[in-house]
Structure 1
């Protein structure tokens, strides 16, 4: 007997299928699954389902003094089954963060800040004494399944007079681990060209469509040669919207040049969740409908692409043997105004609306009133 069968689930390509789940794994996919099951959820070919959404750049260490939030508020309560904290925490706080993360319903992972102090202040890399490689390695050894990447913030307010030295140090630390390295880019110095030329395959440039002077386009609005070379080497582009790091104009220019992000992430924390312009991962995803992205590309950016780039095994796809992390959602036709980090507004006529998250055989209802639409029979 199966734990749960989801009937008549609509995939993003508009095909319809049944999905059977047992012990938290997808065990059967196909039309008209008739095996006995403890619970049945019939989506009646009306609601979409995808692999659980993965937000690859968040700030969800609830006790961080600057950027903090609750994993489940930005996670299962928002249709996101996996949240990745991007550098809120360094080696000094990783024990506390791990204990809190294990209490969440969502899967929580960490990109460990190379600064041992994490984000207890804005300039965590102004003093290179705070980069303790031995302590960093000790943390990785203690939490090999929790720490899935390395974070370094490369902007003027963070590194002070250290230029690209923190990035050089991060690359040295990365060589010992093979973990993905996420690089925050912002105001210069250091210059984006200097940063990009140090990056190698699998490294992640987050805030890739920011509208600051140190953006991916030069003063003539051409893609920087350093970014072209980085993309050719296999460097990853991640959105990391945040309060100050996403520009519709830059994103529109990128699309004209066939430059697309590999992953769409929110850079969400309590302030930009409550006051905007982020609000949720679904909100950020919906902005890419405005930009003319296909819905398949958008969903891939928060599922299989993210899982592959972050090396999250058995996640990101609806496939037999994979974890049954799932997001049920609508693509609702309604006129909505979306705002980027620059205050620019775009009108859109569709948006992603998450209805429920499924994780560890638990169905978390999100939208008020969805209980009436998503009825579970025993």
Structure 2
């Protein structure tokens, strides 16, 4: 007998789909499942069903005063089944973060900040002595199922006068971890210059906030993509949305997409303030913004399922596949007029709204809003 049977769903391509779940795994999958016995059956009534959404840039360590949130507010309550915290904690406090996330409904994973303090203050990399390599590597080995990457924040308010020294330290740590350990790099105001940052990044390193509207961004004064940006993109640097309060600009994104500089993954950079007050609000709203620029539903769902799973080596997540984790998002597309706002206050209108209905994490089903 199955634990959960989801019937009468449809894929993002419009095909019928039904799913059987047992012991937290997908055990049956077909357009129609016959002769099914399950402890609980949910009729999806033609709603969309996808692999569980993964947000690979969040800030959800609740004990911080700068960037913080409850992982379930960013996760199951909004259709996201897995959140990856992007460097809120370092080796000093990641153990505490791990412990307080074990009772959350949402899968919570973390990138460890290369500063031992994490983001206790804006300038965590202004003092290079806060990068304690041995301590950081020990934490990664102590929590292999929790720490899935390392995070370096390379903007002036963070590094102060240290330029790209923190990124050089991050690359050294990455090399000691075998060279394939995920590294996400935050960019913003200069110095350091984006050119210097990207020149140090290699294939499969992740550039977040890639489409911000800042002068130290991907566009030159003539609104063309800078040549060194193309060089990084073509050698395999992963471009991630990382929307955030100040890091996603409609015009920048429009120019980039027109020229073919397409993101690999979509993330929110969500935390308490930009969830409650905008402009982020939630993952569904971020997906709506990307769809404004011609991306199909299938494309944006791939960018929050199989792509982040691939980028962070989550080998049992990101796909509707037999034996994979039973992490599933059920949602509707509503014909609803809505005004969307980027990080710089620019507005655009859509007539399509994405509405999560159920989040299923390890076979446990939660209604939108978080209730069982």
The equivalent residue for 2:314 is 312
The equivalent residue for 2:161 is 161
Normalised TM-score (structure 1): 0.96
Aligned partners of 2:201 and 2:237 also within 8 Å: yes
* CA distance in structure 1 between the aligned counterparts of 2:80 and 2:4, rounded to whole angstroms: 20
Question: Are 1:240 and 2:251 an aligned pair?
Answer: no
Given candidates 334, 337, 351, the residue that maps to 1:335 is: 337
Aligned partners of 2:76 and 2:369 also within 8 Å: no
| 1:81-100 per-position Cα deviation (integer Å, ceiling 9, x unaligned) | 00000011010001110001
* CA distance in structure 1 between the aligned counterparts of 2:45 and 2:183, rounded to whole angstroms: 42
Aligned partners of 2:2 and 2:21 also within 8 Å: yes
Aligned pairs (5 A) from 1:117-266: 117-177=117-177, 178-266=180-268
Give the aligned CA root-mean-square deviation in angstroms: 1.3
The equivalent residue for 2:284 is 282
Question: Are 1:93 and 2:93 an aligned pair?
Answer: yes
Aligned partners of 2:210 and 2:240 also within 8 Å: yes
Aligned pairs (5 A) from 1:33-48: 33=33, 34-45=35-46, 47-48=47-48
| 1:87-123 per-position Cα deviation (integer Å, ceiling 9, x unaligned) | 1101000111000111211111111000001100101
Q: CA shift at 1:361, angstroms?
A: 2.2
Q: CA shift at 1:260, angstroms?
A: 1.1
* CA distance in structure 1 between the aligned counterparts of 2:226 and 2:200, rounded to whole angstroms: 15
Query: 3-state SS of the aligned residue for 2:50?
Result: strand
Aligned partners of 1:133 and 1:173 also within 8 Å: yes
Structure 1 unaligned residues grouped into runs of 5+: 372-378
| 1:207-260 per-position Cα deviation (integer Å, ceiling 9, x unaligned) | 000000011111121111111111111110111100000000011111111111
Structure 2 unaligned residues grouped into runs of 5+: none
Aligned pairs (5 A) from 1:294-305: 294-305=296-307
Aligned partners of 2:15 and 2:31 also within 8 Å: no
* CA distance in structure 2 between the aligned counterparts of 1:121 and 1:97, rounded to whole angstroms: 17
Q: CA shift at 1:367, angstroms?
A: 5.5
Aligned partners of 2:203 and 2:235 also within 8 Å: yes
Displaced runs of 4 or more, over 6 A: none
* CA distance in structure 2 between the aligned counterparts of 1:44 and 1:126, rounded to whole angstroms: 54
Query: How many correspondences in the alignment?
Result: 369
* CA distance in structure 2 between the aligned counterparts of 1:273 and 1:256, rounded to whole angstroms: 29
Normalised TM-score (structure 2): 0.97
The equivalent residue for 2:72 is 72
